[in-house]
C-alpha cells in the first residue's frame, strides 16, 4: 500500500487513468452478465457445434501481400449438427483475436451470447450431412453466426471462409495470428468511387476472382478433412454441396458455382455481380435475395445528392450494370428465384441487426428498418427452403409463390424489383 501511495504521489495521472480503466472494465463485465444479448435460438432438431482451422493453399500466391513470394494463407469457421456432452457450454460469440473487431463495429462482444459449442462431436455417427460454403465481404464470418447456427441446427454443415486481409479492421487465424485490413481486398467498395465505372468493374471482378478461388480452396480442404481422421472425417456429404455469400461474397459464390462442378446450387445475398458470370449466367439453381436499394429506383440526381454516387453518369452506368446482371442470372438459372426483403438494408444480412451496436456504428447506418429477429427468420427460411429443395430434394412451397406468413418477401424478377423512376 505504501508503494502504491508513493507511486500515486509521483504519477497521479497514471493512477487516475488506471482507476478509470478498471471501473470501465468492471461496468462492462457487470453489464454483460446482467444484460446479455442472446442470438435467436436455433429451431432445428440438432444442437450446433463450431470449429475453426487454418491452411495454406500451395497453388496460389498471396494477392494482397506487401512482399512477393508468399503463399495464400486462409482460415475458416465451421458450424455443424452436434451431439454435445452433457453440461457443455457455448463458446464466445467472438473468440480470441476476432474480439478486437468489435471495437471497430462498436459493440460489446462479451454481452453477445451465441449457441454453438466449440469442438462438440458431430451428430449421428455414420450419417453424412450436406455442406454449404460461404463467402462474407468486409464482415468477419462470425458476424453471420445466427444464420449459420440456424442452418446447422437443420442438418447442414456450414463452412465460412475468412478472406485474409478483407475483414474490417483485421482477420484472425485459428492459431491467433492477425492480419490487418488492406483496401485492395474490397476493390474500393467502401465509399463512393471517383474512378470510372469500367475501372471499378475491373477492380471488383478481380476481388471476386480471388474470393471464388478461396472458396474453391476451401472445398479442396474440406475434401481432405472428410478423408482424414479428425472431427468431421467421413461426416460431410460433398456430393450435396451448395455455395452462398453476402455482397461481393455472393458474387463469388455464384462465380464458383459456374466454374466448379462440385457446386450444385448457389445463393447470392444482396451482392452486385461484377465478374463474367453476370454476362454468361449460371445453368444451375440460383437464389437471389435483395435489400431494398433505393439508389436503383430513385433518380440518379437524388442518389448523387445523398453521396451514394459521385456523378449522374456513374449512377446510370452502375444501375444498368447491376440490375441487368441480376436479371440475366435470374433468367438463365435452372431454375432462378428472386426475392426482395422489404425493409432490409445491406447489413441486415449479417448479425448486425441483433447486436448491441452503439451510435455511430458504420453497420447501423446500413441496416434498414426491418427488425433484426424478423430479418433472421425470413432470411433463414428462404435460404433453407432453397437448399432443401436443390440439395436434398425436399418440398419447398415457400419458393413457389407469395406466402401470407412472409409479407416482407416480394417474389419477382430483378428487373421488376428495381425499375428506374420516371425521368431518371
Predicted confidence (pLDDT) per residue in 264-320, tens digit: 999 999 999 999 999 999 999 999 999 999 999 999 999 999 999 999 999 999 999
Tens of pLDDT, residues 42-69: 999 999 999 999 999 999 999 998 887 8
Q: How far apart are CA 174 and CA 54, in angstroms?
A: 6
The mean pLDDT of 240-265, rounded to a whole number, is 98
Q: Going by DSSP bridges, is the β-strand pair 178-180/117-118 parallel, antiparallel, or unpaired?
A: unpaired
CB contact set of 328 (below 8 Å; sequence gap of 6+): 278, 279, 281
- The domain total for the chain is 2
Shared domain for 42 and 149, answered yes or no, is yes
Range of 59's domain?
36-417
Instruction: Please report whether residue 424 resides in a domain.
Output: no
Tens of pLDDT, residues 79-107: 999 999 999 999 999 998 999 999 999 99
CATH number of the domain at 368, please: 3.40.50.1820
Shared domain for 40 and 30, answered yes or no, is no
Strand partners, 265: 242
Q: Give the orientation angle of helix 2-10 with respect to helix 12-34, to 10 degrees.
A: 110
Cell 455442406, residue located: 131
CA quadruple 260, 262, 267, 269: dihedral sign: negative
Closest residue by Cα to residue 338 from 347, 348, 328, 346: 328
Shared domain for 234 and 156, answered yes or no, is yes
Shared domain for 20 and 94, answered yes or no, is no
Instruction: Please report whether residue 422 resides in a domain.
Output: no
pLDDT for the residue numbered 25: 44
Shared domain for 140 and 279, answered yes or no, is yes
Residue 402's pLDDT band (cuts 50, 70, 90): confident
pTM attached to this predicted model: 0.92
Query: How many other C-beta atoms are found inside a 10 Å radius of the C-beta of residue 359?
Result: 6
Q: How far apart are CA 91 and CA 419, in angstroms?
A: 45
Amino acid at each position: 500500500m505504501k508503494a502504491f501511495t508513493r507511486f500515486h504521489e509521483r504519477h497521479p495521472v497514471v493512477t487516475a487513468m488506471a482507476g478509470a480503466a478498471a471501473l470501465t472494465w468492471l461496468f462492462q463485465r457487470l453489464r454483460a452478465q446482467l444484460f446479455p444479448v442472446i442470438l435467436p435460438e436455433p429451431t432445428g432438431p440438432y444442437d450446433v457445434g463450431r470449429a475453426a482451422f487454418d491452411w495454406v493453399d500451395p497453388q496460389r500466391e498471396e494477392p494482397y501481400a506487401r512482399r512477393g513470394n508468399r503463399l495464400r494463407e486462409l482460415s475458416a469457421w465451421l458450424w455443424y449438427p452436434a451431439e454435445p456432452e452433457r453440461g457443455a457450454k457455448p463458446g464466445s460469440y467472438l473468440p480470441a483475436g476476432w474480439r478486437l473487431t468489435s471495437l471497430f463495429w462498436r459493440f460489446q462482444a462479451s454481452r453477445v451470447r451465441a449457441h454453438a459449442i466449440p469442438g462438440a462431436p458431430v451428430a449421428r455417427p455414420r450419417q453424412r450431412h450436406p455442406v454449404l460454403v460461404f463467402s462474407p465481404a468486409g464482415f468477419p464470418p462470425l458476424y453471420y453466426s445466427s444464420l449459420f447456427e440456424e442452418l446447422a441446427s437443420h442438418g447442414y454443415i456450414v463452412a465460412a471462409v475468412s478472406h485474409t486481409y478483407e475483414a474490417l479492421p483485421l482477420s484472425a487465424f485459428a492459431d491467433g495470428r492477425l492480419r490487418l485490413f488492406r483496401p485492395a481486398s474490397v476493390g474500393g467498395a467502401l465509399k463512393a468511387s471517383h474512378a470510372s465505372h469500367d475501372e471499378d468493374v475491373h477492380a471488383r471482378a478481380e476481388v471476386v476472382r480471388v474470393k471464388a478461388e478461396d472458396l474453391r480452396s476451401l472445398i479442396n480442404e474440406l475434401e481432405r478433412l472428410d478423408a482424414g481422421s479428425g472431427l468431421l472425417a467421413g461426416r460431410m456429404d460433398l456430393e450435396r454441396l451448395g455455395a452462398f455469400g453476402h455482397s461481393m461474397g455472393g458474387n463469388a459464390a455464384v462465380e464458383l458455382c459456374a466454374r466448379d462442378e462440385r457446386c450444385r446450387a448457389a445463393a447470392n445475398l444482396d451482392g452486385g455481380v461484377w465478374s463474367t458470370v453476370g454476362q454468361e449466367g449460371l445453368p444451375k439453381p440460383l437464389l437471389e435475395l435483395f435489400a431494398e436499394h433505393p439508389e436503383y429506383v430513385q433518380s440518379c440526381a437524388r442518389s448523387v445528392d445523398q453521396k451514394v454516387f459521385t456523378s449522374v453518369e456513374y449512377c446510370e452506368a452502375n444501375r444498368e450494370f447491376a440490375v441487368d446482371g441480376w436479371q440475366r442470372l435470374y433468367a438463365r438459372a435452372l431454375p432462378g428465384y428472386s426475392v426482395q426483403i422489404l425493409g432490409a438494408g445491406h447489413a441486415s444480412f449479417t448479425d448486425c441487426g441483433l447486436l448491441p451496436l452503439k451510435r455511430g456504428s458504420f453497420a447501423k447506418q446500413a441496416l434498414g428498418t426491418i427488425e433484426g429477429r424478423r430479418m433472421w427468420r425470413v432470411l433463414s427460411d428462404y435460404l433453407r427452403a432453397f437448399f432443401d429443395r436443390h440439395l436434398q430434394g425436399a418440398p419447398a412451397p415457400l419458393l413457389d409463390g407469395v406466402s401470407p406468413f412472409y409479407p416482407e418477401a416480394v417474389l419477382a424478377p430483378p428487373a421488376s424489383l428495381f425499375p428506374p423512376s420516371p425521368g431518371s
